[in-house]
Amino acid sequence: MGCFFSNRRKAEKESQPEGGEERPKQYSWDQREKVDPKDYMFSGLKDETVGRLPGQVAGQQFLIQDCENCNIYIFDHSATITIDDCTNCVIFLGPVKGSVFFRNCRDCKCTLACQQFRVRDCRKLEVFLCCATQPIIESSTNIKFGCFQWYYPELAFQFKDAGLSIFNNTWSNVHDFTPVSGELNWSLLPEDAVVQDHVPLPTTEELKAVRVATEANRSIVPVSRGQRPKSSDESCLVVLFAGDYTIANARKLIDEMVGKGFFLVQTKEVSMKAEDAQRVFGEKAPDFLPLLNKGPVIALEFNGDGAVEGCQLIVNEIFNGTKVYTNGPYVPNLPAICTQPLPLLAHKSEELKLQNGEIYRCLRMRPNGKFLRRKYFFAFSQRRPGFRRHLSTPFLLLFYGEYNTEKRKMCINGIGWKSQRF
């Protein structure tokens, strides 16, 4: 009759090859497809247009070195890319899961997306960048940055394969490891710079098969102003919660706001904790906490006169029934009228301790000591108990409005969202 294990031993014996020789063990690394390094590098090229089509790199590492007067296009996602000793080249890199490292390069123009971006011992580079972390330059000069602006049908899926969010882009927040006193080693490209004038489309028949577009309204990555000076004192923060159509809703809102003349300053896709919600949403935080468990939120900052009211009108019109947070006087349950006495804020050098929910009146003064204008602020949240009252204080939401001296009431009619980051 036997047992189960006796039958198993019998089957194992029958499966052994004749002659009593044991089969060699197979390991996972033995079963991997052999990779030819030459398929993942461009080296020693001159006056050529070369590239890789979607699916040809498929997340592998890539190397570009010793190229001169070349146009190089990588229309696929990759692990890391290193670019060494290249001169006068045009380079496009699809989403890179890890780092892109330029070394000893000069006179190159690039468009690329990556997790980390670093430049060392380079000069005269122009980079249209999407970078999830702070770009870094070292021992380099005349490096110019612009916002990533590119489209082809496979690009959105390649961002997902590389684990990159199209909303996490710190392209203008550059850190220089080797600053020179009195000089600036990097700068921002003009806001009206045309990408195609710097990084032209490929001309070979093989690469022309990729349907590329460089218009801002078609770019996979939203085109933001970054750290350029703001055109208005009024900014608006919008938070969209995770759902089936969150990305599509964010893109639609951006298109509508930009179409009405407002500017997209920055975007962010992050997972929020309860303490983050309390800081950002204030009294409405309990209403939003269940939504935070569904996934990361998308935060958008718009700037322009009337941005808060304009954004709220668009949200009410096109997102009916969708939970969207917009800071401003239209947020439910925020006090629009206050009857408390108004403490006076003097000029901006005074040390203050703002309390949540209190109304303050601010006297702005001319250099000659005369009053310039009067505004009233509602302290909604604060970064720390005491700080110097200046409008760029991180995480300070200030509602302003008009004060009725007879009724000693203040009606909130606008907002100044003054935050360095989300």
Where residue 302 falls among pLDDT bands split at 50, 70, 90? very high
Nearest to 142 by CA among 183, 111, 110, 103: 183
d(C-alpha 122, C-alpha 143), whole Å: 8
Q: Residue 288: what pLDDT?
A: 80
Q: Mapping DSSP to helix (H, G, I), strand (E, B) and coil, where does residue 377 land? A: strand
Q: Which residues contact 244 (CB under 8 A, 6 or more apart)?
A: none
User: Does the pLDDT of residue 71 top 50, yes or no?
Assistant: yes
Average pLDDT of the chain, as a whole number: 76
User: Does the pLDDT of residue 224 top 60, yes or no?
Assistant: yes
d(C-alpha 376, C-alpha 362), whole Å: 6
CATH topology of domain 37-217: Pectate Lyase C-like (2.160.20)
Higher pLDDT, 255 or 35: 255
Q: Which residues contact 160 (CB under 8 A, 6 or more apart)?
A: none
Place of tokens 């997340």: 59
Domain ranges of the chain: 37-217, 236-322, 337-418
User: Using the 8-state DSSP alphabet, how is residue 151 labeled?
Assistant: B
Q: Residue 278: what pLDDT?
A: 81
d(C-alpha 77, C-alpha 58), whole Å: 6
Where residue 394 falls among pLDDT bands split at 50, 70, 90? very low
Across-strand partners of 351? 388
Q: Which residues contact 346 (CB under 8 A, 6 or more apart)?
A: 363
Nearest to 144 by CA among 126, 169, 123, 129: 126
Burial 154-170 (b: 16+ CB within 10 A, else e): bbeebbebbebbbbbbb
Q: At what angle do helices 285-292 and 274-281 cross, to 10 degrees?
A: 140
Where residue 18 falls among pLDDT bands split at 50, 70, 90? low
Q: Mapping DSSP to helix (H, G, I), strand (E, B) and coil, where does residue 147 land? A: strand
Higher pLDDT, 83 or 393: 83
Element (H, E) at 257: helix 246-259
Among left, alpha and beta (phi > 0; psi -120 to 50; other), residue 321 is left
Q: At what angle do helices 246-259 and 307-318 cross, to 10 degrees?
A: 130
Over range 398-404, report the average pLDDT.
39
User: Thinking of the domain 236-322, which architecture would CATH place it in?
Assistant: 2-Layer Sandwich (3.30)
Higher pLDDT, 272 or 189: 189
